[in-house]
Amino acid sequence: MEAPEKNLALDLVRVTEAAALASARWLGKGNNDAGDQAAVDALRLSFNSLHVKGRVIIGEGEKDNAPMLFNGEEVGTGHGPALDVAVDPVEGTKLLAYGRPNAISVVGIAPAGTMYNPGPSFYMQKLVVPPAARDVVDIDAPVKENLKNIAKSLGKDVDDLVVFVLDKPRHEKLIHKIREAGARIQLHTDGDVAGALMAVDPRSEVDVMMGTGGTPEGVLAACAIKGIGGQMLARLDPQSYVEKEAIREAGIDTRDILTVDTLVRSDEVFFAATGISGGTFLRGVQYLGNGAVTHSMVIRGKTGTLRYIESYHNWDRLMKISSVKYD
């Protein structure tokens, strides 16, 4: 038996709350970069107060040429445990800019040297399932076969299943195969990490996520999926000749199948996410005039504990000590 150790996820949630509170002011205002920049500034400032020695492995914004914490950046006070950091201050910048649901702020951490570095890869094929189905899926199996096995493991019929798919032209054939198998589909314009989280969140109606999305987002989501006990099977899926050549020159084999255990090679993983624009997954920031309410989820991998946190923020007190001007 071990004595309880510090749950860093409970520190991380203060970081994602800060990013959500700062960026939600830009909800529906049509400015991608402004909302992203507000979140980046708040997140960096908050993260640098944590007593850790962090190094950003997944900065995410590089793919979209957006404001970002850059890959290789050191975060935290520089004292404490050495950590790999995966971060996306606003996952779903377009969702935030256009006032659509499921924009979230997310951070995942793991011991230094244990997090998969995607290098020049921007896109990967993914299959995400909850714990009950983690051992019955195969990324190379036909869609119909995977859905049949997932449904059986969950005690459902195939036509009970809900599959999260990004609404992209590249998924036209995938969508047809899912419908042909009889499963139901939720199509989302954006929100790669949120989709993966929905597939493993016990409160969500989503049962599985399928399709090609961002590689950085895949590593981020793997922090949560591993913590909950679900599974992600993935394979790099370059969407351009330039990306394919860059991956080849980096010596990475696109035939390799990745799992949560290769994406994050430690059980000492922590994850936090806070809703920004709201939705069925995490409620968004609600401003009250004299404060705000946020909704978050935090995960500790070693114990498999998943917490949902509703926080009430008081401007009068918070603004006396905070360097971030939320109001």
Task: Confirm whether residue 289 is marked as ligand binding.
Answer: no
For the stretch 79-137, pLDDT in tens is: 989 999 999 999 999 999 999 999 999 999 999 999 999 989 999 999 999 999 999 99
Average pLDDT over residues 162-191: 97
Q: Which residue has the higher pLDDT, 306 or 317?
A: 306
Q: What is the pLDDT of residue 309?
A: 97
Task: Confirm whether residue 62 is marked as ligand binding.
Answer: no
User: How many percent of the chain have pLDDT more than 90?
Assistant: 84
CA distances from residue 180 to 139, 153, 209 in whole angstroms, order as listed: 18, 20, 17
Task: Confirm whether residue 243 is marked as ligand binding.
Answer: no
DSSP 167-219: --GGGHHHHHHHHHHT-EEEEESS-HHHHHHHHH-TT-S--EEEEEEEHHHHH
As its CATH architecture, domain 123-263 has: 3-Layer(aba) Sandwich (3.40)
CB 206 within 8 A of CB 181: no
Report the C-alpha gap between 75 and 85 in whole angstroms.
Answer: 9
What amino acid occupies position 194?
A: A
pTM exceeding 0.85: yes
Task: Confirm whether residue 213 is marked as ligand binding.
Answer: no
Q: What is the pLDDT of residue 5?
A: 67
Task: Confirm whether residue 89 is marked as ligand binding.
Answer: no
Let me know how long the chain is.
Answer: 327
CA distances from residue 59 to 24, 123, 211 in whole angstroms, order as listed: 20, 15, 22
Report the C-alpha gap between 218 and 205 in whole angstroms.
Answer: 21
For the stretch 97-113, pLDDT in tens is: 999 999 999 999 999 99
Report the C-alpha gap between 60 and 80 in whole angstroms.
Answer: 25
Q: What is the pLDDT of residue 67?
A: 56
Which DSSP symbol is given to 250?
T
**Contacts of residue 90, Cβ cutoff 8 Å, sequence gap at least 6:** 19, 23, 35, 36, 39, 96, 103, 104, 105, 276
**Does 223 score more than 70 pLDDT?**
yes
Task: Confirm whether residue 229 is marked as ligand binding.
Answer: no
| Residue 294 φ then ψ, to 5° | -125, 155
Q: Please, what is the average pLDDT of the chain?
A: 92
Q: What is the pLDDT of residue 217?
A: 94
Q: What is the dihedral of CA 300, 43, 23, 191, to 10 degrees?
A: -40
Which DSSP symbol is given to 324?
S
Q: What is the pLDDT of residue 61?
A: 52
Question: Which CATH superfamily groups domain 8-114+268-319?
Answer: Fructose-1,6-Bisphosphatase, subunit A, domain 1 (3.30.540.10)
Task: Confirm whether residue 168 is marked as ligand binding.
Answer: yes
In the chain, % helix, strand, coil (3-state, to 5) comes to: 35, 25, 40
Task: Confirm whether residue 123 is marked as ligand binding.
Answer: yes
Q: What is the pLDDT of residue 225?
A: 97
CB 292 within 8 A of CB 25: no
For the stretch 284-303, pLDDT in tens is: 999 998 899 999 999 999 99
Q: Strand 162-166 and strand 208-214: pairing?
A: parallel
pLDDT band at 148 (very low <50, low <70, confident <90, very high): very high
Task: Confirm whether residue 73 is marked as ligand binding.
Answer: no
Task: Confirm whether residue 36 is marked as ligand binding.
Answer: yes
Average pLDDT over residues 38-65: 84
Task: Confirm whether residue 192 is marked as ligand binding.
Answer: yes
Domain-wise residue ranges, the chain: 8-114+268-319, 123-263
